[in-house]
Chains A and B, each alone.
Chain A
Amino acid sequence: MYPEKFQESIRKVEARRKENAAMEPVRMTADEKDALLKAYHPDYREDQFEKLKVGVNAGDKAPHELADMLQAHARVHEGDVDLEHPDFETDVLIIGGGGAGCSAANEADEAGAKVMICTKLRPGDANTMMAEGGIQAADKEGDSPMQHFLDAYGGGHFAAKKELVAKLVTEAPEDIQWLNRLGVEFDKTDDGTMITTHGGGTSRKRMHACRDYTGMEIMRTLRDEVLNRKIPILDFTAAIEIIKDEEGRASGAVFINMETDELIVVRAKAVILATGGAGRMHYQGFPTSNHYGATADGLVLGYRAGAKLLYEDTLQYHPTGAAYPEQIFGALVTEKVRSLGAKLVNCDGEVFVHPLETRDVEAAAIIRETGDRGKGVDTGHGKAVWLDSPMIDLINGEGTIEARIPAMYRMFEKRGIDMRKEPILVYPTLHYQNGGLEINTDCMTTVENLYAAGEVTGGVHGRNRLMGNSLLDVIVFGRDAGRAAGQKVKEVKSGKLTLAHVTAFEESIKEAGISTQKVSPKLLPNYLRDRNVYDGPKIQ
């Protein structure tokens, strides 16, 4: 039950529900979308970005918070660690134990390479675990890889690297099959037909799901497989610098034990960065749906090693972050709520946007509705709009919400809101890093033997990612990176290890006149209350 102050607005929503559920709102034209995005999407707020001064992307723009980290001091320098006597040696070193990292590990192991995963928290403490909605693949009659290509490329505003999109959509079906054969329980009918729905920006119903725990089901299965293959995992071990050899090839990394601060050197023939996203950077002060360790570390690690970034200035704000109650502020309300028929309505109960436009358009429409149009609902800590969830059971029959989106139902029910009967309050939340390290079709960055896969990369989704294409990206390119690196190491003989590139980067920061106290990568956000905390030398 909502407090009294919301009741008047709720009654207006209820009064229009039947009519709203039945109507098909008009979709925007391409020009209308452009104008809306330019006026309201956070990516277009010029004052929130700056030009990078150092590194391969000098001159390109990035959000302030990211620029701060890309142009900060390193946590480790030449001479701090003994590179001659590494703590571990392996063929393929995988940084990040999320979906991409575990997919890569399984394939590199399959290719016969010696593999090791190092990850900041526990394996599976990752954005992959949190994906609710689903994963795309064109595997049904009436759909095709080409159709999927068109949706993804168009949805990304014609900015993606075409060859990566082609790979994404062409390998999608076999990767769904791979997951299924590992034991992932996709939603199916009795005859084995996959139950698929639309997602924002799809032209065919190709969203495969495992109830609304799709990512969790995929993640825990991949992790179980990594364990079954006895691939060593160092948990609570965060990468703080890529190590190169004299010829500039990635040849390992320096890590820090998150609990003891001990430094660890791993030597490898190839490195795969699979560190995921950046929600916990809280760009422009937005709340986030991401896991605790999503702090853009991979971008920093890659950048200091000389890898090029692509579209690092585009972020995805998921239109429907929970806006009430405060304990779940920013948490994701899966797009599937809209796929199943719920529409966005304003404080007067009016539908103001088609529920299945692409995410950037939906987010901008909500920001306009609550801003200039003044049709938002005041939650006490910001504005929001209603997502009229009771429409779902109205359209699909009672019991649909509990059966198809149990995690959502549970999240609100625990806070005393019955989304089957009451609408929910939403506002955009920082959700996904559209850009990142540029890769080629072998998943190699612009640095030799430094591979990358998953949310840390840029180019697969252009300037906007569609729901269900990211989990897919993680599996497709995670596996590809594992295979490519697994093959490549057979011919690699890396030379003497060095951190000279770190020294050079520090030099260029000085030359550019940047004076900063900050160090990077960030590793974890700081949520401590502001006050005096002892910050002196650590007890040895």
Chain B
Amino acid sequence: MDNKMVNIYLFGKKYEVPDNLTIMTAMEYAGYQLKRGCGCRNGFCGACATIYRIAGQQELKMCLACQTKVEDNMYVATLPFFPLVKQIYDIEKVKPEQQLMMQLYPEIYACIGCNACTKACPQGLNTMQYIAYAQRGDFAKCAELSFDCVMCGICSSRCPAGISHPQVAMLARRLNGRYLEPESGHLEKRVKEIWNGDYQQAMKDLMSKSDDELKELYNNRVIEK
């Protein structure tokens, strides 16, 4: 398929690239051997935070380079690292209380409600709102709203209050998963049975079977509907 060529400006320098490329593949097309700013290449790892402006437009846009197609007259700067604050804690010793947020990430209470974080999030998350839930100590809601966060740090780069949103959300999710969500009875039970050695003999017996016997069992096993 023939593609149109467009002009993009990588760190201000002009390159002509096919218009079906992402910013990431366009950089490679232009001759950059990427080391930083490239991880999963598929929207999961948040390595490729990028800022761009289309010439003539006022708005500064933020995106993931691996997920965004090039456009004509795009001025691009990558943001492969952003200094976030990550506080240290012991998940076994902390309690899922508002107090904890106040201790570890007090700066979240300085949020001025500008919503710049939400506007910039490439995952379309309601970032300001999850920070609001964190302030209130509502970790379940903060976890729910922040679940799809790829920790790219774009929101933090826009925040006048210097908040490290993805780290706040990380804490909330771990507290939610550890303490607030219900325990799985069937899981606890199975782990006890295994530790008790309940399956040892049956597993030994199975392992001692010949491959022909195992094939027989495998090919005729009942598959749960």
Contacts and interface: CB of A to CB of B under 8 A. Distances in A.
Contact of A529 (B22, B29, B143): B29
A141 B173 CA distance: 28
A220 interface: yes
Given A139-B184, A228-B90, A185 B206 contact: no
Interface stretch (B39-47, B51-59, B105-113): B39-47
Contact of B182 (A147, A173, A192, A216): A192
B187 A125 contact: no
B184 A291 contact: no
Interface in B1-43: 1, 20-22, 25, 28-29, 31-36, 38-43
A411 B21 CA distance: 16
Contacts, number: 219
Given A162-B207, A166-B207, A259-B35, A180 B147 contact: no
Contacts of B45: 122, 124-126, 129-130, 216, 291
Interface string B187-201: 110110011000100
B189 to A, nearest CB: 8
B224 A141 contact: no
Interface stretch (A269-277, A307-315, A506-514, A520-528): A520-528
B102 interface: no
Contact of A224 (B69, B148, B174): B174
Interface stretch (A47-55, A148-156, A240-248): A148-156
A182 B186 contact: no
Interface stretch (A197-205, A337-345, A441-449, A466-474): A197-205
Given A173-B194, A192-B183, A291 B40 contact: yes
Nearest to A132: B44
Contacts of A38: none
Contacts of B25: 327, 527
B88 interface: yes
Contacts of A130: 40, 42, 44-45
B114 interface: no
A23 B195 CA distance: 42
A184 interface: yes
Main secondary structure of the interface of B (DSSP, over half): loop
Interface stretch (B71-79, B129-137, B215-223): B215-223
A8 B38 CA distance: 38
Contacts of A327: 20-22, 25, 69
Contacts of B206: 146, 149-150
Given A154-B214, A180-B177, A192-B181, A228 B91 contact: yes
A506 B44 CA distance: 39
Given A183-B91, A406-B148, A216 B44 contact: yes
B199 A170 contact: yes
B184 A180 contact: yes
A162 B210 CA distance: 11
A523 B67 CA distance: 23
B118 interface: no
A21 interface: no
A70 interface: no
Nearest to A190: B182
Given A183-B177, A380-B1, A194 B224 contact: no
Contacts of A529: 28-29, 31
Given A145-B199, A216-B44, A411-B43, A194 B187 contact: yes
A328 B22 CA distance: 10
A494 interface: no
Interface in A258-304: 258-259, 289, 291-293
B211 A145 contact: no
Interface string B61-92: 00000010100000000000000001011110
A34 B91 CA distance: 49
A145 B39 CA distance: 35
A146 B203 contact: yes
A220 B143 CA distance: 13
Given A154-B218, A291-B40, A183 B178 contact: yes
A89 interface: no
Nearest to A176: B187
Nearest to B123: A410
A526 B214 contact: no
- Which 5 pairs between the two chains have the least Cβ-Cβ distance? A183-B174, A154-B218, A192-B182, A125-B39, A183-B177
14 contacts: A125-B40, A130-B44, A181-B178, A182-B174, A183-B176, A185-B177, A193-B184, A211-B147, A221-B170, A221-B174, A224-B170, A224-B174, A527-B28, A528-B28
Interface of B: 1, 20-22, 25, 28-29, 31-36, 38-45, 47, 67, 69, 86, 88-91, 123-124, 143, 147-148, 150-151, 170, 173-178, 181-188, 190-191, 194-195, 199, 202-203, 206-207, 211, 214-215, 217-219, 221-224
